[in-house]
Amino acid sequence: MKNFYLSVLLLTVAFTGLQAQKSDPEAKKVLDAVSAKFKTYKAVQVGFLYSIEDAKGKVQSKKTGTLLMKGTKYKVTFGDQEIYSDGKTTWNYDKSAKEVTVNNVSSDANAFTPQKLFTSFYDKDFLYVLNGEKKVGAKTLQEIQLTPTDKSKAFHKVYLTVDKNAKTIQSTKILENGGNKINYTLNNMVTTVNPADASFVFDVKKYPGVEVVDLR
């Protein structure tokens, strides 16, 4: 996967036409609560573990990353990738290639931002059902199954785990049509951070020798 939002966000790319009446209203209550809770935070820093399993359950890849968000701004660090966005411009830095690609942030309301992963990703072309809940240690976890209504998508199921009391997403499992499973486990969510706006801007001066590909 080229970067964080190209891999997660099979979940969120330009969906239309959800028929909410066919979804589980109890699942919607859970998802709405997660969205409402997230919107109360001024800034959030999240650590995550990403892995890919093949059809036999063998782990093919495993990486860790961090996601920092403030309003419409974000920074993602993931393997050899660093993605910065100040809400107007996006910088995608590939460490291994020593190259940064610069783009304008899309004005399309359907365009993905990491913030949508925690708020409105389920509002479009998904049918969803609450599978139930279970105790894991001191936590009560709720599992929601999401099915895309567009059958041409590269995945056929998404399983979302939510901490019932904290109203936060704990993990996401994406089942691809080819049999692979993409797993994200979120941890170390810190909601008291106050990052400077400069944290979301790629400063070329700090990366001597980097090639800049400006697509604006």
Per-residue pLDDT, 8? 46
> What pLDDT score does 10 carry?
36
Instruction: Place 213 in a pLDDT band, splitting at 50, 70 and 90.
Output: very high
This prediction's pTM = 0.75
pLDDT digits over 189-209, tens only? 899 999 999 999 999 999 999
Pick the CATH number of 4-202 from 3.90.230.10, 3.30.70.20, 3.40.50.720, 2.50.20.10: 2.50.20.10
Q: CB atoms < 10 A from the CB of 17, how many?
A: 8
> What is the per-residue pLDDT for 135?
94
DSSP β-ladder status, 211-214 and 181-190: unpaired
Largest Cα–Cα separation, the chain: 55
The predicted pLDDT at position 91 comes to: 96
Task: For the chain, give every domain's residue range.
Answer: 4-202
Closest CA to 164 of 37, 48, 68: 37
Contact by Cβ (8 Å): 65, 74: no
97 against 20, higher pLDDT? 97
Asked if residue 134 has pLDDT above 70, the reply is yes
pLDDT in tens, 67-109: 999 998 999 998 899 999 999 999 999 999 999 999 998 765 4
Please write the tens of the pLDDT for every residue from 144-189. 998 888 788 788 998 999 999 999 999 989 899 999 999 989 888 8
| Res. 24: pLDDT tops 50 | yes
Confidence at residue 187, expressed as pLDDT on a 0 to 100 scale:
86
Which residue type sits at 73?
A: K
Mean pLDDT of 4-33: 57
